[in-house]
Structure 1
């Protein structure tokens, strides 16, 4: 039996929803999995991301690690595996490439066990990164609200408004989530926390029902400004877009800029030099599994 797992990219935070909001985007990694007689074979194919140098092809590959974790959880063993990873999601750009790899591996483990992904899959995927926003979006599709209770991760999928047409501006430079988290202060002013809480609540309403409120909803005082030293060009572009009335934010840990538009285009006159601009529709479905028994 061969399995093909297709998993979408994701954008997280959407401005004020730090480690809470996620949105699945129609840019996909595809992993082909086949059970073999023994051993492990991993082939990595660059489908346009340009980031494949240095990606491991052994047990340390993130898809393999997640697959093995799911198999242990489900008490299933396989004699050997062959994986072909067609990567399209840019690495270290704030588009959920690591979460997508984890979700692909866990979905593969569930397929090998003959089971559908469930809440346990979300728990397994979220444990890899310590928060559930990107993983939940890649698993469930659409717009997700994620939270944590003790060591348990949860997420609820909501339907984003059909008028929302995301556009991303992806720079060549990369960023590290660990590095950008290191720029965040241990404490923020109470007024900034209250401001961001109000905008987070408004974001849920704006994304699901009132896209005309997206600009106000995506204001943030919790994390984006503190991260500016890591990617000043991205923050400049975000500010330039917001000055034109566009609901622009830093995508996840950056440095990609996300614009939540209703047109699918950015306004004329905004300098996007150094960025690849791509309209990316919302992915409504999340991870998808196809089987081939031929």
Structure 2
């Protein structure tokens, strides 16, 4: 299941790219800017600010939605997957939207190939993203194989928190791995992201000898990993991977906060962006003096 195809992107790999966003993630990072991607199933977003007074279309289409005291009340637990499908085109103002759509790989491939002239001209291509795209490793591998056969470069954004077999299946068809390494401390990672750092590190070590290129991305999050000691440890691990020559520091921002309100989810991170330019400079200096990594600040 996918939830978006973003064309003419210049921030998720080299050149001009199309980004295929796939549903589902095995982590629960509280700063995630795409919370609608976490579930493998469809997600319902509701923005009451755009809701029309007295409109009953969504309530008439779904047992889990009512209008009470002239306000739409959504009971998400009472809405089935079939009802979500029926709701996709109901709301005339898009106050209520459904995130997630099933599609055949042939359709996705055809859409991604529409911009091949731009890929060729700019040195770009297609990037798989999410969520965690490797939760759908078969789909990724099949589309990536077709793209490579048609001369299109491929990249993938991954948290690496999937079974190794998923990574191994996709690896021969991926030119660049834009892979997250959020921390090096197992306990802290488990507390914040609800996942196994051991699995991620093992996957990195297995991938490094066979990957064409790994770019490690580090979201620098207040209270989680925003100390020089923590960033140094991340840099040291990245430098130990033979196919990793680049590391991107991604300062925490709050651009995704509104999506949590639309999904009726709590937002558990800081409501202010990271403001530590001196920390990021120290990390870059450490990498320059102690490793061969090219460390840059992005975002």
TM-score of the pair, normalised by structure 2: 0.24
Q: Which has the larger radius of gyration?
A: 2
Higher relative contact order (CA 8 A, sep 6+): 1
Which one has a larger percent strand, Structure 1 or Structure 2? 1
